[in-house]
């Protein structure tokens, strides 16, 4: 049995690193356990929507140049075959701010976040079990080691292992979806690439498409659920764009895939149990269209603060967290235009 930590944060994405930054800042012995070797890639458009950039700067400082990937003016969604575009967030009657939104390269950005957190990091090592014994939480890992701590923060993304351990009965209801992205440096298209485009068209069966430019790199994205294979969807999307928007592309320079979980679209969020909290996408905290970096950072930082407050009182961390993170939860649910459901 290795030495004990105050807090083990499972997952080194925006939620986990924001949480770790707060905890380390308050002097808690904090470990970030990350399944992948770092720096790791993350299948994501990397747009810092709404106040995301300001929030990052407030918690972590100025974002270094190497993480930045140009800006997009807005997101336009095509929702019918006549290419009628509606601005994001579509379906809401709020005015949409027309200002450039910063994009980041997730590999560089997330690595910078983790470095800035100041936490001890174990990468290439996943959490695969959680048990509680005499007030301590024990985390079993993929190399057979067992780590001990007072609190766990599950910040392990949409397909969260921590959530599945805590709430196994929930998984059938919230079903993960797949996403697949392909990047090109040689490309041409008859669209104004100042925008990010979402294609939610009846003719694209079993999936939605997305299209954006990061610096000079074109990124095509497809996402969907069961019934469609990601690579087949990507080929259908490419052909659609070729026929309808004059797309031509060279050889892809990178391909990436992930599983994600638009739980909030169904009105479901989960925040943890006792000394084990869930932050970011693990807890279902994403805004409309799975915009998740900002709510991940907000909820991760709040989870860290809730642990500090629990340490200084005799109130459960979960109880404090549920109260403190309420605005983030409400913002997420309202953006999908749904009511929250008790789980």
Q: Which of 152, 179, 302, 333 binds ligand FAD (CB under 6 A)?
A: 179
Site for ligand FAD in 126-145 (CB under 6 A): 126-127
The least CB distance from residue 112 to ligand FAD, in Å, is 14
User: Is the Cβ of residue 108 or residue 156 nearer to ligand FAD in the bound state?
Assistant: 156
Return all residues near 162 (Cβ < 8 A) that are at least 6 apart. 10, 127, 130, 152, 154, 156, 276, 278, 282
φ, ψ of residue 339 to 5 degrees: the values are -90, 150
Distance separating the N- and C-terminal Cα atoms of the chain: 34
Verify binding: residue 335, ligand FAD, rule CB under 6 A. no
The least CB distance from residue 314 to ligand FAD, in Å, is 29
The least CB distance from residue 14 to ligand FAD, in Å, is 4
Instruction: Report which of 140, 121, 120 is spatially closest to residue 34, judged by C-alpha positions.
Output: 121
Verify binding: residue 156, ligand FAD, rule CB under 6 A. yes
User: Is the Cβ of residue 11 or residue 310 nearer to ligand FAD in the bound state?
Assistant: 11
Window 201-230: contact mask with ligand FAD (x via CB under 6 A) = --------------------x-x-------
Instruction: Report which of 142, 128, 139 is spatially closest to residue 276, judged by C-alpha positions.
Output: 139
The DSSP output letter for 185 is S
The least CB distance from residue 234 to ligand FAD, in Å, is 12
Window 27-66: contact mask with ligand FAD (x via CB under 6 A) = ------xxxx---x-xxxxxx-x-----------------
C-alpha angle with apex 318: 312 to 319, nearest 5 degrees? 80
Instruction: Report which of 221, 230, 227 is spatially closest to residue 178, judged by C-alpha positions.
Output: 230
- Give me the DSSP letters along 246-310: --EE---SEEEEEEE--GGGGT----EETTEEE-GGGGT--BGGGB-HHHHHHHHHHHHHHHHHH
> Which span (10-18, 130-138, 323-331, 333-341) binds ligand FAD, by CB under 6 A?
10-18
Verify binding: residue 155, ligand FAD, rule CB under 6 A. yes
Give the C-alpha separation, 184 to 251, whole Å: 7
Give the C-alpha separation, 316 to 313, whole Å: 8
User: Is the Cβ of residue 275 or residue 287 nearer to ligand FAD in the bound state?
Assistant: 287
The least CB distance from residue 312 to ligand FAD, in Å, is 26
User: Is the Cβ of residue 243 or residue 306 nearer to ligand FAD in the bound state?
Assistant: 306
DSSP-derived 3-state class of residue 224: strand
The least CB distance from residue 315 to ligand FAD, in Å, is 25
Residue nearest ligand FAD, Cβ-based: 292
Give the C-alpha separation, 343 to 333, whole Å: 14
Site for ligand FAD in 277-306 (CB under 6 A): 280-282, 286, 290-294, 296
Total residues contacting ligand FAD by CB under 6 A comes to 41
The least CB distance from residue 160 to ligand FAD, in Å, is 7
Instruction: Report which of 177, 183, 252 is spatially closest to residue 214, judged by C-alpha positions.
Output: 183
Residues 48 and 295: beta-carbon distance below 8 Å: no
User: Is the Cβ of residue 15 or residue 201 nearer to ligand FAD in the bound state?
Assistant: 15
* Residues in touch with ligand FAD (CB under 6 A): 10-16, 33-36, 40, 42-47, 49, 126-127, 155-157, 161, 179, 181, 221, 223, 258, 260, 280-282, 286, 290-294, 296
């Amino acid at each position: 049995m290795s030495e004990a930590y105050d807090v083990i944060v499972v997952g080194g994405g925006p939620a986990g690193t924001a949480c770790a930054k707060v905890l380390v800042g308050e002097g808690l012995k904090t470990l970030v356990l990350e399944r992948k070797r770092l720096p790791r890639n993350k299948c994501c458009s990397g747009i810092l929507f709404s106040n995301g950039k300001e929030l990052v700067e407030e918690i972590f400082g100025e974002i270094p140049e190497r993480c930045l990937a140009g800006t997009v003016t807005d997101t336009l969604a095509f929702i019918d075959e006549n290419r009628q575009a509606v601005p994001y967030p579509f379906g809401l009657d709020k005015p949409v701010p027309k200002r450039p939104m910063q994009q980041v390269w997730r590999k560089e950005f997330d690595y910078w976040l983790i470095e800035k957190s100041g936490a001890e990091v174990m990468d290439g090592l996943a959490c695969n079990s959680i048990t509680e014994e005499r007030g301590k939480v024990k985390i079993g890992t993929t190399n057979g080691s067992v780590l001990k701590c007072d609190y766990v923060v599950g910040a392990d993304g949409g397909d969260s292992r921590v959530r599945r351990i805590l709430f196994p009965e929930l998984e059938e209801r919230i079903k993960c979806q797949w996403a697949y992205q392909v990047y090109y440096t040689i490309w041409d298209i008859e669209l104004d690439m100042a925008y990010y485009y979402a294609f939610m068209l009846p003719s694209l069966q079993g999936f939605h498409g997305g299209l954006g430019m990061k610096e000079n790199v074109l990124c095509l994205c497809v996402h969907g659920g069961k019934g469609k294979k990601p690579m087949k969807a990507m080929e259908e999307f490419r052909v659609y764009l070729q026929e309808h928007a004059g797309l031509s592309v060279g050889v892809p320079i990178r391909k990436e895939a992930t599983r994600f979980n638009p739980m909030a679209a169904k009105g479901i969020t989960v925040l943890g149990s006792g000394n084990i909290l869930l932050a970011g996408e693990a807890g279902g905290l994403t805004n409309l269209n799975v915009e998740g970096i900002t709510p991940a950072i907000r909820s991760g930082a709040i989870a860290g603060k809730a642990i500090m407050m629990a340490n200084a009182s005799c109130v459960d961390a979960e109880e404090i967290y549920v109260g403190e993170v309420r605005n983030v939860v409400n913002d997420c649910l309202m953006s999908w235009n749904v009511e929250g459901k008790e789980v």
